[in-house]
Amino acid sequence: MTIEELKNEAIQKANELTEQMLKEHEKKLNAIKEEYDKKIAKLQEEPKTGRWKPEFHDKYYYIDSVGVVCIAYWENYESDKTRYALGNVFKTQKEATFAIEQLKVLAELKEYADDDMEWNNYNLHWDIEYNANEKRIKVDYYYATKNIPFNIYFSTEEQAQKAIDAIGEDRLKKYYFCVEE
Protein backbone atom coordinates (compact mmCIF):
# COMPACT_ATOMS: atom_id res chain seq x y z
CA MET A 1 0.00 0.00 0.00
CA THR A 2 1.29 3.40 -0.91
CA ILE A 3 1.45 6.46 1.29
CA GLU A 4 -1.21 8.12 -0.85
CA GLU A 5 -3.55 5.12 -0.38
CA LEU A 6 -2.92 5.14 3.38
CA LYS A 7 -3.75 8.88 3.51
CA ASN A 8 -6.97 8.32 1.55
CA GLU A 9 -7.95 5.38 3.77
CA ALA A 10 -7.28 7.48 6.90
CA ILE A 11 -9.34 10.36 5.49
CA GLN A 12 -12.17 7.98 4.57
CA LYS A 13 -12.18 6.42 8.08
CA ALA A 14 -12.04 9.90 9.66
CA ASN A 15 -14.98 11.00 7.50
CA GLU A 16 -16.94 7.87 8.42
CA LEU A 17 -16.16 8.38 12.10
CA THR A 18 -17.11 12.07 11.86
CA GLU A 19 -20.37 11.19 10.13
CA GLN A 20 -21.13 8.55 12.77
CA MET A 21 -20.38 11.03 15.58
CA LEU A 22 -22.55 13.70 13.94
CA LYS A 23 -25.45 11.24 13.70
CA GLU A 24 -25.05 10.29 17.38
CA HIS A 25 -24.91 13.96 18.43
CA GLU A 26 -27.90 14.73 16.23
CA LYS A 27 -29.85 11.92 17.94
CA LYS A 28 -28.87 13.25 21.38
CA LEU A 29 -29.76 16.82 20.43
CA ASN A 30 -33.11 15.71 19.01
CA ALA A 31 -33.84 13.78 22.21
CA ILE A 32 -33.02 16.86 24.31
CA LYS A 33 -35.12 19.09 22.04
CA GLU A 34 -38.03 16.66 22.25
CA GLU A 35 -37.76 16.54 26.04
CA TYR A 36 -37.84 20.34 26.31
CA ASP A 37 -40.62 20.66 23.75
CA LYS A 38 -42.72 18.35 25.95
CA LYS A 39 -41.91 20.43 29.03
CA ILE A 40 -42.83 23.64 27.23
CA ALA A 41 -46.08 22.14 25.94
CA LYS A 42 -46.95 20.99 29.46
CA LEU A 43 -46.29 24.44 30.89
CA GLN A 44 -48.45 26.01 28.20
CA GLU A 45 -51.30 23.60 29.00
CA GLU A 46 -51.21 24.26 32.74
CA PRO A 47 -53.60 26.96 33.88
CA LYS A 48 -51.92 30.16 34.97
CA THR A 49 -52.07 30.60 38.72
CA GLY A 50 -50.89 33.24 41.06
CA ARG A 51 -50.66 36.91 40.33
CA TRP A 52 -48.99 38.66 37.47
CA LYS A 53 -45.43 39.82 37.99
CA PRO A 54 -43.71 42.01 35.43
CA GLU A 55 -40.58 40.88 33.64
CA PHE A 56 -37.53 43.15 33.45
CA HIS A 57 -38.40 46.44 31.67
CA ASP A 58 -42.15 45.60 31.55
CA LYS A 59 -44.52 48.52 32.08
CA TYR A 60 -46.78 48.28 35.12
CA TYR A 61 -49.14 50.52 37.06
CA TYR A 62 -49.25 51.30 40.76
CA ILE A 63 -51.16 53.55 43.14
CA ASP A 64 -49.13 56.34 44.74
CA SER A 65 -49.58 57.71 48.25
CA VAL A 66 -52.39 60.10 47.25
CA GLY A 67 -54.38 57.60 45.20
CA VAL A 68 -53.13 58.48 41.74
CA VAL A 69 -52.43 55.72 39.21
CA CYS A 70 -48.80 55.93 38.06
CA ILE A 71 -46.76 54.11 35.40
CA ALA A 72 -43.42 52.47 36.11
CA TYR A 73 -41.10 50.03 34.41
CA TRP A 74 -39.93 46.96 36.30
CA GLU A 75 -36.23 47.31 37.01
CA ASN A 76 -36.16 44.96 40.00
CA TYR A 77 -35.49 47.93 42.31
CA GLU A 78 -36.51 47.79 45.96
CA SER A 79 -39.43 50.10 45.15
CA ASP A 80 -40.64 47.60 42.50
CA LYS A 81 -40.26 44.67 44.92
CA THR A 82 -42.01 46.52 47.75
CA ARG A 83 -44.95 47.53 45.55
CA TYR A 84 -45.27 43.91 44.43
CA ALA A 85 -45.09 42.59 48.01
CA LEU A 86 -47.89 45.00 48.99
CA GLY A 87 -50.09 44.00 46.04
CA ASN A 88 -49.59 47.39 44.41
CA VAL A 89 -48.48 46.24 40.95
CA PHE A 90 -51.08 46.08 38.19
CA LYS A 91 -50.89 45.01 34.57
CA THR A 92 -53.33 47.66 33.36
CA GLN A 93 -54.47 51.12 34.36
CA LYS A 94 -58.00 49.71 34.60
CA GLU A 95 -56.91 47.17 37.25
CA ALA A 96 -55.19 49.90 39.28
CA THR A 97 -58.24 52.18 39.07
CA PHE A 98 -60.45 49.28 40.18
CA ALA A 99 -58.15 48.70 43.17
CA ILE A 100 -58.50 52.36 44.17
CA GLU A 101 -62.28 51.97 44.24
CA GLN A 102 -61.92 48.79 46.30
CA LEU A 103 -59.78 50.64 48.84
CA LYS A 104 -62.34 53.45 49.02
CA VAL A 105 -65.17 50.99 49.70
CA LEU A 106 -63.10 49.25 52.40
CA ALA A 107 -62.38 52.60 54.06
CA GLU A 108 -66.07 53.51 53.97
CA LEU A 109 -67.04 50.14 55.49
CA LYS A 110 -64.53 50.62 58.30
CA GLU A 111 -66.25 53.91 59.19
CA TYR A 112 -69.23 51.82 60.32
CA ALA A 113 -67.34 48.81 61.69
CA ASP A 114 -66.57 47.94 65.29
CA ASP A 115 -63.06 46.50 65.44
CA ASP A 116 -62.95 46.40 69.26
CA MET A 117 -65.62 43.74 69.70
CA GLU A 118 -64.58 40.69 71.66
CA TRP A 119 -65.01 37.33 69.94
CA ASN A 120 -66.86 34.93 72.26
CA ASN A 121 -70.15 33.06 72.45
CA TYR A 122 -72.04 36.10 73.72
CA ASN A 123 -71.40 38.88 71.21
CA LEU A 124 -73.05 38.96 67.83
CA HIS A 125 -70.82 40.03 64.99
CA TRP A 126 -72.66 41.26 61.92
CA ASP A 127 -71.19 41.26 58.44
CA ILE A 128 -72.24 42.08 54.90
CA GLU A 129 -72.48 39.13 52.52
CA TYR A 130 -73.37 38.53 48.90
CA ASN A 131 -75.85 35.74 48.17
CA ALA A 132 -74.97 34.50 44.67
CA ASN A 133 -78.19 32.48 44.28
CA GLU A 134 -80.39 35.45 45.09
CA LYS A 135 -77.96 37.98 43.59
CA ARG A 136 -78.33 40.32 46.53
CA ILE A 137 -76.50 41.82 49.45
CA LYS A 138 -77.56 40.61 52.89
CA VAL A 139 -76.57 41.08 56.51
CA ASP A 140 -75.78 38.04 58.65
CA TYR A 141 -74.29 37.40 62.07
CA TYR A 142 -71.78 35.15 63.83
CA TYR A 143 -71.09 34.40 67.46
CA ALA A 144 -67.67 32.86 67.72
CA THR A 145 -66.74 32.03 64.14
CA LYS A 146 -64.49 34.50 62.37
CA ASN A 147 -64.71 32.73 59.03
CA ILE A 148 -63.10 35.20 56.64
CA PRO A 149 -59.75 36.86 57.31
CA PHE A 150 -59.84 40.66 56.96
CA ASN A 151 -63.65 40.64 56.93
CA ILE A 152 -65.31 43.71 58.35
CA TYR A 153 -67.74 43.16 61.21
CA PHE A 154 -70.36 45.42 62.76
CA SER A 155 -71.74 45.55 66.32
CA THR A 156 -75.37 45.68 65.18
CA GLU A 157 -77.48 44.73 62.20
CA GLU A 158 -78.54 48.36 61.93
CA GLN A 159 -74.93 49.52 61.71
CA ALA A 160 -74.26 47.03 58.90
CA GLN A 161 -77.37 48.24 57.08
CA LYS A 162 -76.25 51.87 57.46
CA ALA A 163 -72.98 50.92 55.76
CA ILE A 164 -74.89 49.26 52.90
CA ASP A 165 -77.14 52.30 52.50
CA ALA A 166 -74.24 54.75 52.56
CA ILE A 167 -72.04 52.86 50.11
CA GLY A 168 -74.77 51.44 47.91
CA GLU A 169 -75.43 47.84 46.96
CA ASP A 170 -74.06 48.26 43.42
CA ARG A 171 -70.71 49.59 44.65
CA LEU A 172 -70.50 46.82 47.28
CA LYS A 173 -71.24 44.15 44.68
CA LYS A 174 -68.70 45.52 42.24
CA TYR A 175 -65.80 46.54 44.49
CA TYR A 176 -66.19 44.53 47.72
CA PHE A 177 -67.49 41.25 46.30
CA CYS A 178 -66.12 41.68 42.74
CA VAL A 179 -69.46 40.70 41.21
CA GLU A 180 -70.57 42.05 37.86
CA GLU A 181 -74.24 41.60 37.07
pLDDT digits (tens, 9 = 90+) for 113-140: 987 777 777 788 899 999 999 999 999 9
pTM assigned to the model: 0.70
Q: How far apart are CA 85 and CA 21, in angstroms?
A: 52
Distances (CA, A) of 21 to 7, 27, 32, 87, 173: 21, 10, 16, 54, 67
**pLDDT per position as a tens digit, 4-27:** 887 888 888 888 989 998 889 888
Helix (H) or strand (E) holding 101: helix 93-112
CB 147 within 8 A of CB 174: no
Q: How far apart are CA 110 and CA 36, in angstroms?
A: 52
pLDDT band at 164 (very low <50, low <70, confident <90, very high): very high
Identify the pLDDT of residue 179. Answer: 94
